[in-house]
Amino acid sequence: MLAPDPLLVATNRFGLGARGAAALYLSGGGGDPRAFVLAEINKPPLDLPGKQQASSAHLLQLFFAEQKAVRDARAMPVMTPSAHDPNTANQAAVPERNFARDVYREEALLRFQQAFRVPSGLIERLTAFWANHFAVSCFKGPFVRIVAGAYEREAIRPHVLGRFSDMVMAVERHPAMIFFLDNTWSAGAQSQVGRNNPKRGLNENLAREILELHTLSVNGGYTQADVTSLANMITGWTYSGPDGRFGEPGQFAFVPQWHEPGPQTLLRRIFDQQGVAQGEAALRMLCQHEKTAKFIATKLARHFVADDAPPALVERLAKTFQTTGGDLASVTRVLVTSEEAWSYPLTKMRSPRDFMMASMRLLGRVPEEPQRILNALNVLGEPLWSPPGPNGFPDTKAAWEASEQIKLRLDLAAQMARQLRDPPNPSDLLEEVFGPAASVATREAVRRAESKQQGIALLLMSPEMQRR
């Protein structure tokens, strides 16, 4: 088993793709590929470029106002224009701006521009990994579409090198997750609201996914009784609506009247805290559990190294997770410096999002608008922030290397090459970006291309671009 070129490990396995004189810096120029990757852990570019983005609470307040304007407009009487003065018509007007679409596009453009600018892309990869682990989906409707970007900015990005427990607490209290997994109106049977209104009942969706997808895993040893207990502990966890009855509209709120009173038992442990503290204590316990450590370690090793996660690496990652109290910077350092990460072959296929970001970096094209990339992601089956379910997009090579997927990528590669106004010489581009890391077969295929555009399309479809 031959170890891959360190340049490709640094730029493909851990980064978003090579760009510019990457080969000169990392190979011929005496650069250190491992130090190149580690630099983003030591000095992480967490802030997104561009204007200050609105908080999820502010975006939801605008969304609530838009909904009210639409309702008011539809409720207005429609008057028949006067025969003498057609300008007297008072037609009901619905706001023309598609607010959810516009916010979604603005947030997407920031991610694409950041992906182009960062030296390595490790932090962007980690952010996307964790956002997929704690997935919400825009398929749920405009509410999630509006706050999906803010959710990633607020609950995921600040914590990718922080404490896992802090990320979990931010995720489970975020309006995007509460809405997506239907905890908005969840009320305990013995709560004040539950006793007065039997139709208001317990919703177990969020609790189930916390156990199955966010912490312990599906094989985490919990029971249906544990799901119900955790669901009871997070009753009353919601967000404040447009009336501001529970606080500032759009922000997390805890409603005591909805909370199931009394102690609850989770994984044979009794939680007798009062109010919101009960659910918080349960989350902290789950974050410290050895099953959670093993689950997170396995997913990280599978994502960054190989589908069959190397057992020794998983064990070291899990041990680091537990001994550091879930410090993700420490876990990531162990991953990046592991022997397995630099010796295992690059067998995994880039996801559609990785492929589009790597292509953009290779071609040196800063996106000025997001729609072309968004359209491409839709075609390739990984629409931004829109997985088919709460388990996120698949993370195995089989999911992205089917023949139909390859054909779609080839079509997009050819399209991207045709759109270049002044295409570079593809052989020169190959040498600049990949240098000695490029295989003889890739060099020959690019050299024999009938046009610059064809050569660039072949370069985009090369193993050096597609594998990570």
**Which tens digits make up the pLDDT trace of 416-457?**
999 998 999 999 999 999 988 999 999 999 999 999 999 999
pLDDT of residue 27: 46
Q: Helix 99-117 crosses helix 371-380 at what angle (to 10 degrees)?
A: 90
DSSP code, position 129: H
Residue 436 CA to residue 24 CA, distance in Å, equals 9
Residue 356 CA to residue 350 CA, distance in Å, equals 9
pLDDT of residue 73: 83
pLDDT of residue 20: 76
Q: How many residues does the chain have?
A: 468
Position 100: which residue type?
Answer: A
The label of the residue with tokens 């896992």 reads 164
Phi then psi for residue 218, to 5 deg, are -65, -25
Find residue 238's DSSP bridge partners: 253
41 close to 121: Cβ distance less than 8 angstroms: no
Give Rg (Cα) of the chain. Answer: 25
410 close to 459: Cβ distance less than 8 angstroms: no
**Residue-wise pLDDT tens digits, 294-334:** 999 999 999 999 999 999 999 999 999 999 999 999 999 99
Q: Calculate ∠ Cα 217-287-320, nearest 5°.
A: 95
- Positions of the chain with pLDDT under 50: 27-29, 82-83, 86-96
Q: Where are the alpha helices (DSSP H) in 27-85?
A: 33-42, 56-75
pTM, whole model, 2 decimals? 0.94
